[in-house]
Amino acid sequence: MLANNAPLPVLTPETEAFWTGGCEGKLMIMRCAQCMRRHHPPSPVCPHCYSERVAPEAVSGRAKIASFTVNHQKWLPDMKVPFVIAIVELDEQPDIRITTNIVNAPPETIHIGQSVQVLFEQHEDVWLPLFQPEKGA
């Protein structure tokens, strides 16, 4: 697992559900009750229909890798390299993307299109949503 000491986000009313949902093992993504579409990053109005009836809702946590990079540079003195940074697309709605780390897999096995599943890593009051390959993927 990571120990990269990267800076954590400041929690706000809009972002708190996303960054703390992992406490209950849930990946929380904003969804509109009017048009039913999801959006990310979180906004108090739906960017598709401008409804304010938006709220965080758990998704399955299944996603596919849209792109990835193996970072070799120590941006901070204690950073453990290499590690994999990826952009994943949620299975429920692929235009929802999350920049994340792919863990529990050798970097050379990671590929675009690979199916991954969320897991969470707690740092203070933040649960970072990381992803690992689904079995057999």
Partner 1 sequence: MTFGEKQVAITGIGQSEIARPSSRSALLLTIDAILAAIEDAGLTPADIDGLTTWPGRMDSDPGFGPVGTTDIKEALGLKLNYFAGGKEAPAQFGAAINAIGAIAAGLARHVVVFRTVYEATTRKQTGAGTAFGTARVPDARFQWQLPMGAMSASNWTALYAQRHFHDYGTTREQMAQIPLNCRRNAALNPKAIYRTPLTLDDYMGARMISTPLCLYDCDVPVDGATAIIFSRADAAGDLRHAPIRLEAVGSALHGRDSWDQRADLTSMAAFDAAKMMWSRTDMKPSDIDTAQLYDGFTILTMLWLEALGFCGKGESGAFIEEGTRIALAGELPLNTSGGQLSEGRVHGYGYLHEACLQLRGTAGARQIAKPVNTAVVGTGGGPLASCMLLRND
Count, residues near partner 1 per rule CB under 8 A: 37
Task: Provide, rounded to whole angstroms, the least separation between the CB of residue 44 and partner 1.
Answer: 13
Torsion sign across C-alpha atoms 97, 29, 118, 8: positive
Query: Burial code of 106-132, b = ≥16 C-beta within 10 A, e = fewer?
Result: eeeebeeebbbbbbbeeeeebbbbbbe
Stretch that binds partner 1, among 7-15, 24-32, 53-61 (CB under 8 A): 7-15
- Closest alpha carbon to 110 in 69, 81, 53, 82: 69
Task: Provide, rounded to whole angstroms, the least separation between the CB of residue 132 and partner 1.
Answer: 14
Among the listed residues 58, 105, 128, 137, the single contact to partner 1 using CB under 8 A: 128
- Closest alpha carbon to 69 in 97, 100, 104: 100
Residue 49 lies near partner 1 (rule: CB under 8 A):
no
Residue 101 lies near partner 1 (rule: CB under 8 A):
yes
Residue 73 lies near partner 1 (rule: CB under 8 A):
yes
Binding site residues, partner 1, CB under 8 A: 2, 4-10, 15, 40-41, 66-77, 79, 83, 85-87, 95, 97-101, 112, 126, 128
